Amino acid sequence: MARKTGSNGEKTRAAVEEAAIRLIARHGFAAVSMRQIAREVGVQAGALYLYTPDKQSLLFDIMRGHMEHLLASWEAEAPDPATPAVARLERLVRFHIDYHIHRPEKVFISYMELRNLEPDNFAEIERLRRAYEGVLEDILRAGAADGVFHMEDARITTMAMIAMLTGVSTWYRDSGRLQPAAIAAHYVDMAFRLVGGARIAQAAE
C-alpha cells in the first residue's frame, strides 16, 4: 500500500487511523464512510486515498497493525525462553492486562470486525491471532512438561485464559475501585489458579 512519507504525511496517516478507530468502534465498520473519516480528520475525502486505497485496506491495516504491535511488544519484553514457565506466565499475564486495559477501542474492533474482513485478510489476522495464542500455549505446555502446571487440555486452557484476561477491557474504568497494577496482580493470581500452579503471585493492594 502506497503511503505518503515524511513528517506531515506520517502525522496525517496516524490521524486517519485514529479517526477510523474512533468511528468504527463507535458505529461499526459497515456504517462508517470514507467521507466521514475524512471529515473527522479535517481533510478532503479525496486526500484520504493518499493514505489508504479503500476502506477494507484501512480496516485490515488497523487490525494487522494491532496484532503485529501486540506481538512485537511482547517480543520486546519477553523473558529468555530458558526462563522457567512460572516466571514467563506471570510476565505475559501482566503484559496482556496492561496492553489491553489501555486500548479498549482497538481490542473491541479486532474482535468485532473480524466478520468484515475479506477472506485473505481474515486468514492473515487469524494467523497473527494464532501466533499470539501460541505464545501462551507454549508457556503452558512448557510448565506442564516441567511438572509445575497441571491442566486437562492445553488448547482449551489457552483459549479460556485469553478470554478471561482480555475481558478486563470490557469492564475496566479509570475511575474504578482498583488501579491497573492491583487488577493485574489479581489476574496473575487467577491465571496461576487456572493451571494449578503454586500461588506464587499474591494480589497487590
Instruction: Please give the residue ranges that form the binding site for a second copy (CB under 8 A).
Output: 25-31, 108, 111-112, 115, 152-153, 156-157, 159-164, 166-168, 170-171, 178, 183, 186-187, 189-190, 193-196, 203
User: CA 176, CA 180: separation in Å to the nearest integer?
Assistant: 10
Nearer to a second copy, 50 or 159 (CB): 159
Length of the chain: 205
Nearest approach, Cβ of residue 116 and a second copy (Å): 8
Query: With respect to a second copy, which residue has the nearer C-beta, 123 or 156?
Result: 156
**Intra-chain end-to-end CA distance of the chain, in Å:** 48
Helix segments in the chain, DSSP class H:
7-27, 34-41, 45-48, 55-77, 85-101, 104-112, 119-145, 154-166, 168-171, 180-194
CB of 3 vs a second copy, minimal distance in Å: 28
Nearer to a second copy, 43 or 203 (CB): 203
Q: Considering the complex, what minimum distance in angstroms separates the CB of residue 52 from a second copy?
A: 20
Q: Are 133 and 179 in contact (CB under 8 A)?
A: no
Of 75 and 152, the one with the shorter C-beta distance to a second copy is: 152
Nearer to a second copy, 26 or 69 (CB): 26
CA–CA–CA angle 189, 193, 196 (5° rounding): 140
CB of 99 to a second copy, least distance (A): 16
The distance of closest approach from Cβ of residue 20 to a second copy in the complex, given in angstroms and rounded to an integer, is 15
Smallest distance from a second copy to CB 6, Å: 35
> Residue 46 or 119: which CB sits closer to a second copy?
119
DSSP conformation class of 116: G
Give the list of residues 6+ apart from residue 203 with CB closer than 8 angstroms, or none: 182, 185, 186, 189
d(CA 48, CA 46): 5
